[in-house]
Amino acid sequence: MDTASEALAVSIGERAVVDLPFMAALADKTEDDIIKELAGVIFQNPLTDKWETSDEYLSGNVREKLQVAKDFAENHPEYEINVEYLTKIQPKDLEASEIEIRLGATWVDQKYINDFMKETFHTPNYYLGKTIDVKYAEINGQWNISGKMRTLGIHWSMQPTEPSGQMLTGSWRMRLIYVIQRFLIPLLRMGKRSV
């Protein structure tokens, strides 16, 4: 074997890890030579001291990995290459307008769906969270709206100029129960499948 890259391919193929002593023996080189030739292709993980391929090391929570690499690089200059490569691949921060949250996503707290119902449907405070409530059951992944029958006497209206009115155009003056059954429950079911 002539190159460190070939030795790396054999190491990954046969041992499923970056095995420096094995690779050095295959390529008839020192471990330091292998490390120099594969700079940017393999990285030493400062938390485990194990060598990892770039595919493994430069993935996952790269923000956290960058902070760890910076901390270690202060006293161990061999980790400066980790900082350099992790800095290059940091994801950009999202603007608020780029973040989409689907109603019924399992990670959205029930409180926010109750708040949505209150603000969108003008549900009276004395009903919301007490007799009318949204619950998520983690055990089976189901959403449930309790107390729907309490809304039979509640009429609500929206002005078409309100942002939420645009979403429910044509549904003004409907009883809350019908709006929930026709719009919110299907949205919650769709949200169950997406995160």
Q: What is the pLDDT of residues 128-154, one digit of tens each?
A: 656 667 777 778 777 777 765 555 444
How confident is the model over 182-194, as a mean pLDDT? 53
Q: What is the pTM of this model?
A: 0.55
- Kindly report which listed range (34-48, 101-115, 130-144, 165-179) carries the lowest average pLDDT score: 165-179
At residue 120, the pLDDT reads 73
Q: Using an 8 Å Cβ cutoff, are 7 and 23 in contact?
A: yes
**Cβ partners under 8 Å of residue 27, min gap 6:** 1, 2, 3, 4, 6, 7, 33, 34
- For residue 127, pLDDT over 60 is answered with yes
The residue extents of the domains of the chain are 4-88, 100-192
How confident is the model over 152-164, as a mean pLDDT? 43
Q: How many CA atoms lie within 13 A of 27 on its CB side?
A: 25
At residue 160, the pLDDT reads 42
